[in-house]
Amino acid sequence: MKNFGFTRVAAITPRVKVADVEYNVSEICRLVLEAEEKKASIVVFPELSVTGYTCGDLFGNNLLVEGAEDGISRIRKFSRGKEAAIVVGAPVRCHHKLYNSAVVIRNGEIRGIVPKLYPPSYNEFYESRWFASGADFLSPTMQGGDIIGYAGQNSVNMSPNMLFRIGEATFAIEICEDLWTPIPPSSFHSVAGADIIVNLSASNEVLMKHVYRKNLVCEQSAHTLSGYIYCSAGYGESTQDLVYSGPSLVYENGTLLAELPRFSRESGTIYADVDVEKLSVLRRKQSSFCYFTPDGTGAAAYARLYTRVDLGGGPSTDFSAEFFRHVEAHPFAPENDTLEIDSRCREITSIQVTGLMTRLEHISARTAVIGISGGLDSTLALLVTVMAFDRLGWSRDRIIGVTMPGLGTSGRTKGNAVELMKILGITMREVPVIKAVEQHFSDIGHDPSVKDTTYENAQARERTQILMDIANQTGGMVVGTGDLSELALGWCTYNGDHMSMYGVNASVPKTLVRSLCKWAATNVFAEAGKVLLDIVDTPISPELTPADEEGNIAQLTEDLVGPYELHDFFLYHFFRFGSSPEKILFLAEKAFGGSYEKETLEKWLKKFVWRFFGSQFKRSCLPDGPKVGSVSLSPRGDWRMPSDAHADLFIASLGRERKG
């Protein structure tokens, strides 16, 4: 059973009774059993969950502290035969001091105790009245922590600097206030090797605090490129002065995976499958993911200050049966949040427009020349160019839109192209290519009845020649229309539509091109809304083979290379996270399970890999164009790949027998 680099975690907020260790431990054990059934590897409870956080001066009473130790002993014995690593909060005595601590238990043994570094004593908090700082264990004489006897176990390591490995994941711990400090301990834990940060918390509610708290956890998970389990106290804590709502969260690299509804009377659990493999890839890619101390030593030297604890393999989790994370089918194009769509589309087009404006001014261009086909890509390029000219204060008649009817041009696309140019008020030119292409066929001895690659590419190259020459003729530049998806698949004619003087769509995938055109129809170019929406609804085609008898498009791109929504999904996970084709297929099943059969997904994924590797030579000589998102195939920027790399290893991985 393959786990694809995922680790299942659980954040559990139990209903507590303040100072009632017997009740709290019973509830913890009951909830651990539920998490065991779900095959969670790491099970986290809130700060001081064994006693309750709000015991106040009762923490100064030996009976409560000893009762907590007995409670931990009970959990330790209960954990025998269990596979999960259990992390609970308890007050722990050491050297005549009391520490607010996280206790890590697995399979009948306490594997480590992590004390809180920053007990708060401001506003409503007064922890230093009862608890010492875990910084005591970072002194020169105790840098590796201390060994104590605790909860019936003779030897337990106690230190803030501990890394616990279970299965493929390594986690470290900080406690509540630790996160709210200028440089949280998790910043150091992550560069020392922790993939997942565990935070046992007791964060009370005040107006707007939850928004700040979520932002804090979100940003820290992003800064540390980690999974972050934030587990906070809830119902049953004393409401003498404060209210605790159980605001537990799981984030991964700035993305929310799970959130527990607040203000519940009952115990609550959230599960999430953290992609540790993805986090590892991101850390390898980000060369600045390191830590340098003032004396010049690096992350490797710093990591030696940590005690590493191997907890063994985690539970054998079948992620194919139940998966606790959402897999976005269209990662490039948000679909449901209207405000998010508007915000993203405005930012993307602003990047495109600014890039084009800068280039036009730099070369003192008198015109911008664009081939207008009535399809999505040329439409977006035209809209961006119009916005650029408007911002520059240049007349739109300096934009030259050229229609070049060919052997496969349909009435619908040509009509939409002409109508759009009229509405936008640009200069229109029509240069048919049929006679020139037929002459070319005659010149090279090609039979026009053979509708092969030569038949199609001759038209694309003829059109590019026309655009380039008109640009020379008018003192302008050719604005490229090709998009990121076509570049990934090599679905462009080398030295044809593959070439321009500035490619404004070069890092915009097809699914996003459609979203941008649809957005522009209602938010920017309402006067052209009707024709823009018809272009959005037009089947995608290069129109290089004749239309049918009714004049409709006969050559449908997605019938030939596969659905663009799949290819964009494949590209995103292959490029962004270095996922293997086998893992991409697994994720695609989760994202598209109701829309495509597994065999169909595998068929198009193999096609994607084959075309991606075989088309690198086209990407190695791309014209300039602005990067707009996290995925870009520019040979000068994000993607440097040899044109003769082999795809065999990647395609063969899909042929292996998959278990589970």
Identify whether the C-beta of residue 138 lies closer than 8 Å to the C-beta of residue 185.
no
Q: What is the DSSP letter of 548?
A: -
- Looking up tokens 């800068």 gives 358
What is the homologous superfamily of the domain 6-310 according to CATH? Carbon-nitrogen hydrolase (3.60.110.10)
User: What span, in angstroms and rounded, lies between the C-alpha atoms of 493 and 461?
Assistant: 7
Tokens of 537: 């609804």
Give the active site residues: 47, 116, 176
- Kindly state the tokens that stand for 504: 């404004």
Helix ranges (DSSP H) in 129-208: 185-192
Cβ–Cβ under 8 Å, residues 348 and 507: no
> For the domain bounded by 338-655, which CATH number is listed?
3.40.50.620
Whether the CB-CB separation of 491 and 390 falls below 8 Å is answered with no
Q: Tell me whether the CATH fold assigned to 6-310 matches the one assigned to 338-655.
A: no
Q: Which helix (H) or strand (E) holds 610?
A: helix 598-614
SS3 per residue for 413-469? HHHHHHHHHHHHCCEEEECCCHHHHHHHHHHHCCCCCCCCHHHHHHHHHHHHHHHHH
Q: Give the Cα separation of 623 and 603 in Å (integer).
A: 31
What is the predicted pLDDT for the residue at 139?
Answer: 72
Per-residue confidence (pLDDT) for residue 660, from 0 to 100: 35
pLDDT of residue 545: 79
* Alpha-carbon distance values, 484 to 101, 347, 373, 505, 626 (Å): 50, 17, 18, 7, 11
Q: Mean pLDDT, consecutive 10-residue segments, the chain of 660 residues?
A: 91 98 98 98 98 97 98 98 97 96 98 98 94 88 82 96 96 98 95 96 96 98 97 96 96 98 97 97 89 55 82 92 95 77 93 98 98 96 98 98 92 95 98 96 96 94 97 98 96 95 97 96 96 94 73 76 95 96 97 93 96 96 96 95 95 65
Domain extents in the chain: 6-310, 338-655
